[in-house]
Amino acid sequence: MAAAILKQTPARTTSADRTFPPGFLWGAATAAYQIEGAAALDGRTPSIWDTYCRTPGKVHNGDTGDIATDHYHRWREDVGIMTDLGLGAYRFSVSWSRVQPTGRGPAVQKGLDFYRRLTDELLEADIKPVVTLYHWDLPQEIEDAGGWPERATADRFAEYAALVADALGDRVESWTTLNEPWCSAFLGYGSGVHAPGRTDQVAALRAAHHLNLAHGKAVQALRAHLPARAQMSITLNFHHVRPLTSGPEDADAARRIDALANRVFTGPLVNGAYPADLFQDTAHLTDWSFVRDGDTSTIHQPLDFLGVNYYTPTLVSVSQGADTRRSDGHRPSPHSPWPGSDDVAFHLPPGETTAMGWAIDPSGLHDLLLRLTNDFPGLPLVITENGAAFHDYVNPAGEVHDPERIAYLSGHLTAVHQAIEAGADVRGYFLWSLLDNFEWGYGYSKRFGAVYVDYPTGTRIPKSSARWYARVARTGTLPEGSGQQP
């Protein structure tokens, strides 16, 4: 059995050597729909992303996850790559519609067998499996019944969680319920740039609550089906929100976006209550009567660690009349993912950007980690996603050199190291992503992987950043001279 992610609080280190504490966990992450393929094999039925991809104009180039990187058939090769990179852990998600095709009823054993084989191979390679139960691929039949805006979906999710726990609980100790529920709720049901593509601000708020409720019910189900040593977490894509100016209006804009981006989840998850200002800011849209007595107690389950996804900071101001909402870092849409905040403008922070157009700013990660440490003392943190897309290509020698990604990773890992020195209890770091893959609405046009994938053939080519990260993972030390200081 693999060791758990979290042990005792690690010892502090000095900034001179940039060596991470003993026991710090180095890994990489992926998501089922982005890499598995085999979309109609062994009983799997469509998820909302299968349907969304087939809706004209929704995904770049009409791309789908039907084949993706064919991880469903090449998983042994991919575990071999992880072994070569010296990874200590692999964070992967389970496809709900592969395990429970209609989102209800008994599990499909062929689907579970895939994850059993993958987990066994990881354990044989001494790589810790870290399971995420939901990374956005809701079974289409559940969406047809109303999806996340409906309360019943939370109950269905808890039943699914129990099925996976029964199958993998003797092998897996670290469990994450949901990945980035903000995206599921507000991009999926608000702006419509993610599946299922709905554009209803009240439905987005309802979805956020029911995702929170699903987390709480799933943790209860997991604890009922897993050994006591099992660890529970949720992964949030924190928006590190900064005001454009020091003026009170911009400060209030930042407060409003922080409530919608972050505290709508951390409030009930960690503190046991939704923030009052969130209710006030959205009172003209809904009375929040879908939050029933006892819901926040169900949501407020003990966490063993909090997953932190970070890519870029968010810069906001009060709107001066120009519609700059599309600069919030997400795909453009005439519909806002920010309910009740049409008077908030989003700005691109200064400096270099990635291929996604996202500002490269490691200081945002440093400051975020210290804020979370201050807000939630005693709750360990794990960086569950951090990485960047760049315009990678194979050179005539058959190699992929990506110095921009190395600089990005080095800068952000330096920020993590400095946050640890300042008192943040950060226990691990998962690079996003192990492989180039299907990048949601961007299709195959954006490459986040440390390993290049030639999509027509499926050939994997480790990039320069993979070799760089392998050295860091093996030594726990950042090479001198390549990082950007926060």
Catalytically active residues are 180, 385
- 282 and 339 Cβ atoms separated by less than 8 Å: yes
Task: State the CB neighbour count (10 A cutoff) for residue 371.
Answer: 16
d(CA 320, CA 341): 13
Contacts of 217 (CB under 8 A, 6+ apart): 154, 155, 157, 158, 161, 298
Angle at the Cα of 360 (from 136 to 371), degrees rounded to 5? 70
* Token code pair at residue 325: 């909402």
d(CA 302, CA 271): 10
* Token code pair at residue 460: 């994997």
d(CA 239, CA 136): 18
Give the helix/strand (H/E) hosting 473: helix 464-475
Residues making up the chain, counted from first to last? 486
The CA-atom distances, in angstroms, between 298 and each of 143, 158, 273, 302 are 23, 12, 11, 10
Residue 167 phi/psi, 5° resolution? -80, -35
The CA-atom distances, in angstroms, between 162 and each of 89, 107, 418 are 23, 10, 39
Closest to 28 measured CA to CA, from 388, 385, 407: 385
- 339 and 205 Cβ atoms separated by less than 8 Å: yes
Contacts of 54 (CB under 8 A, 6+ apart): 64
d(CA 69, CA 74): 8
- 307 and 176 Cβ atoms separated by less than 8 Å: yes
Side-chain half-sphere exposure of 108, counting CA atoms within 13 A: 19
Q: Is 408 helix (H, G, I), strand (E, B) or coil?
A: helix
d(CA 118, CA 94): 11
- 184 and 235 Cβ atoms separated by less than 8 Å: no
